[in-house]
């Protein structure tokens, strides 16, 4: 008998596999607990800041959104926007909990799919936690007028969210075949609908917050003087800065179109919620400030809304081509099989 097939070797492999499974299960549980703690802490702090008057919270968000002229958010929309962003993270976090607690049979394939790899990876959980902490640090720094540091930490949180979303997309792309082979289509679509779209909304909001915080810092510098004439000049400067910020987001959207169309059309055609959220933000600003803004800034709103709408249509078209092509291929393969089977049966 070969040494590789000996009972002692099989016993050692089984023990090592059991130890690895226990290690991965514990590490994922710790990562998930830390992520849930970060998410609940950030959500609690945001709710307290929005709705409670106390020395701890201090209504920082209301003050922040009212001092980003000319893109100041209407007061009645501040709480719904923040709660929508954080509320859309709850479904995929609950899904991550189910993948930790669920057992899908006793065979090795199920253990492999739910542990090596996991549908929600540890890197994704860790980077999402960093984005939640960036919001907490952002609130603290804005409350203490450290505007430059707030922009830096929001930018770091944006980089963490980009890494989080890309990790999830690449993770699903690499192991979609294994999930399909095990008939775990509900997991595939749960990741596409809840995980990817929820993270895309938070990423869109994070990028918008970077623009808002930059505009807030400019407001604190330019509108601090008491002269009316200088304030009028500074307001026109703020309009120009706002146009530049909107233009930079449009440039990012154009790069996204090129990258998605060339490289990731199949994996990213389902990620549309973030762009819908950006269109909603644009409509809110246009509807409440269309009589106060200059014509150039209004045109930038129209251009950005049109570009974001084009991206959503592009996603839908790519998804349509992908699944219509898959249906045609399956029908073609079925016809070929029936034809060959007919030849073997002598029915040609």
Q: What is the pLDDT of residues 25-42, one digit of tens each?
A: 677 788 889 999 999 999
**pLDDT score of 117:** 52
**What pTM was estimated for this model as a whole?**
0.81
Q: How confident is the model at residue 189 (pLDDT cuts 50, 70, 90)?
A: confident
Confidence (pLDDT) at 149: 93
Span 227-247, average pLDDT: 77
The answer, yes or no, to whether residue 17 has pLDDT greater than 80, is no
pLDDT tens digits along 123-139: 899 999 999 999 999 99
Q: Taking residues 59-66, report their average pLDDT.
A: 88
Would the pLDDT of 55 be above 80? no
For the chain, give the secondary structure using H, E and C. Answer: CCHHHCHHHHHHHHHHHHHHHHHHHHHHHHHHHHHHHHHHHHHHHHHHHHHCCCCCCCCHHHHHHHCCCCCCCCHHHHHHHHHHHHHCCHHHHHHHHHHHHCCCCCCHHHHHHHHCCCCCCHHHHHHHHHHHHHHHHHHHHHHCCCHHHHHHHHHHHHHHHHHHHHHHHHHHHHHHHHHHHCCCHHHHHHHHHHHHHHHHHHHHHHHHHHHHHHHHHHHHHHCCCCCHHHHHHHHHHHHHHHHHHHHHHHHHHHHHHHHHHHCCHHHHCCCCHHHHHHHHHHHHHHHHHCCCCCHHHHHHHHHHHHHHHHHHHHHHHHHHHHHHHHHHHHHHHHHHHHHHHHHHCCCC
Ranking 54-58, 244-248, 326-330 by mean pLDDT, the lowest is 326-330
Question: Where does the pLDDT of residue 280 fall: very low under 50, low under 70, confident under 90, or very high at 90 and above?
Answer: very high
Higher pLDDT residue, 26 or 213? 213
| Lowest mean pLDDT across 53-57, 175-179, 205-209, 225-229 | 225-229
Q: Is the pLDDT of residue 184 over 80?
A: no
Given a cut of 50, whether residue 43 has pLDDT beyond it is yes
Average pLDDT over residues 179-202: 86
pLDDT value of residue 187: 82
| pLDDT of the residue at 83 | 95
């Amino acid at each position: 008998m070969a040494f590789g097939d000996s009972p002692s070797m099989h016993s050692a492999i089984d023990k090592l596999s059991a130890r690895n499974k226990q290690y991965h299960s514990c590490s994922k549980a710790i990562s998930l607990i830390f992520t849930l703690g970060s998410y609940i802490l950030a959500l609690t702090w945001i709710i307290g800041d929005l709705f409670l008057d106390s020395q701890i919270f201090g209504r920082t968000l209301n003050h922040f959104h009212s001092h980003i002229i000319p893109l100041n958010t209407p007061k009645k929309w501040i709480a719904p926007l923040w709660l929508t962003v954080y509320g859309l993270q709850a479904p995929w976090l609950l899904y991550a909990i189910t993948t930790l607690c669920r057992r899908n049979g006793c065979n090795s394939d199920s253990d492999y799919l739910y542990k090596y790899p996991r549908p929600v990876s540890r890197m994704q959980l860790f980077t999402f936690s960093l984005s939640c902490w960036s919001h907490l640090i952002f609130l603290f720094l804005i409350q203490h007028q450290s505007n430059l540091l707030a922009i830096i930490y929001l930018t770091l949180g944006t980089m963490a969210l980009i890494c989080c979303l890309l990790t999830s997309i690449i993770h699903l792309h690499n192991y979609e075949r294994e999930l399909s082979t095990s008939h775990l289509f509900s997991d595939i679509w749960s990741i596409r609908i809840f995980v990817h779209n929820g993270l895309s909304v938070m990423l869109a909001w994070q990028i918008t917050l970077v623009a808002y915080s930059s505009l807030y810092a400019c407001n604190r510098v330019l509108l601090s003087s008491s002269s009316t004439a200088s304030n009028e000049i500074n307001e026109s400067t703020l309009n120009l800065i706002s146009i530049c910020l909107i233009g930079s987001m449009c440039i990012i959207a154009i790069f996204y179109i090129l990258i998605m169309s060339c490289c990731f059309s199949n994996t990213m055609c389902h990620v549309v919620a973030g762009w819908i959220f950006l269109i909603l933000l644009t409509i809110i600003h246009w509807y409440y400030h269309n009589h106060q803004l200059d014509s150039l800034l209004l045109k930038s709103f129209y251009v950005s809304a049109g570009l974001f709408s084009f991206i959503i249509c592009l996603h839908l078209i790519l998804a349509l081509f992908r699944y219509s092509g898959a249906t045609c291929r399956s029908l073609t393969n079925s016809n070929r099989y029936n034809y060959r089977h007919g030849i073997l049966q002598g029915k040609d």
